[in-house]
Amino acid sequence: MTTWVRATCGVGGVALALGCTLASLIWTYDGRYRATGPIDAAVVLGAAAPGGSPSPVFTGRLEYAETLLQQNAVRFVIVTGGGRDDPTQPEARAGARFLLERGADPARVLFETSSKTTPENLCYAAKLGAAHGLRSYAIVSDPLHLRRALRYARDIGMDARPAATPTTRYRGLGAKLQFTLRETYLYAKRLLGGPVRCPP
């Protein structure tokens, strides 16, 4: 019994140490946008849009993508999200409408309404981008989300770099810790499960 307890504690200790290391890497990840020249498209990762209106989290991502577009740091914006909570109200459509109402050039705003998860956001964005001859991408999301998102982007062969929102709704320590724990779990799941694959 003692041997079993020691072995269990040992495994638990290793798992805890690995989890803490991973959480630290996510917490300290520097996802600031860096590019020496224009990128083909900013990909806005989906977030809630209840009733067809972008949530504060989604709004922050859209506003930063709008800034990149206005600065000509990107040629296009691709908004993602297929309405995970309400299929009749795709997040991407709400996000695209938000940008257009703020004066974005309709010819430079693309959106996809098929994705339900972060890997799918990226897969369908890459497919849409390829159809428009786009090859390089800036992934726009909250800072704590970007390490996992960039891992997925590498999995599917995207030429991508991070573009962390300069502000985030996850401001309080409690909110940040909760988000970090979720990201740690999902990132560990990706590491254990292997590279993601896009739907056919």
Q: Which fold has domain 27-169?
A: Rossmann fold (3.40.50)
Residue predicted with more confidence, 186 or 1 = 186
| Mean pLDDT of the residues in the chain | 90
User: Could you give the CA distance from residue 65 to residue 86 in angstroms, rounded to a whole number?
Assistant: 24
In terms of DSSP H, where are the helices of 28-165? 56-70, 91-101, 118-131, 146-155
pLDDT in the model for residue 173: 72
Total residues belonging to the chain: 200
**Where residue 87 falls among pLDDT bands split at 50, 70, 90?**
confident
Tokens 């257009």 -> residue: 100
Tokens 């709008």 -> residue: 66
Where would I find the beta strands (DSSP E) of the chain? Answer: 39-44, 74-79, 109-111, 136-141, 159-164
User: Could you give the CA distance from residue 99 to residue 106 in angstroms, rounded to a whole number?
Assistant: 9
Angle between helices 91-101 and 56-70 (to 10 degrees): 50
Q: Which residues contact 187 (CB under 8 A, 6 or more apart)?
A: 22, 26, 147, 148, 151
Reply yes or no on whether the pLDDT at 5 is more than 90: no
Reply yes or no on whether the pLDDT at 37 is more than 90: no
Mean pLDDT to the nearest integer, 79-86:
86
Report pLDDT digits (tens) over 68-77.
999 999 999 9
Pairing between β-strand 159-164 and β-strand 136-141 as defined by DSSP bridges: parallel
* Cα dihedral sign, 64-66-68-74: positive
Q: Where are the domains of the chain?
A: 27-169
What φ, ψ does residue 154 adopt, rounded to 5°? -65, -35
Q: Which residues contact 89 (CB under 8 A, 6 or more apart)?
A: 49, 50, 51, 52, 83
**Cβ(47)–Cβ(93) below 8 Å:** no
**This prediction's pTM:** 0.89
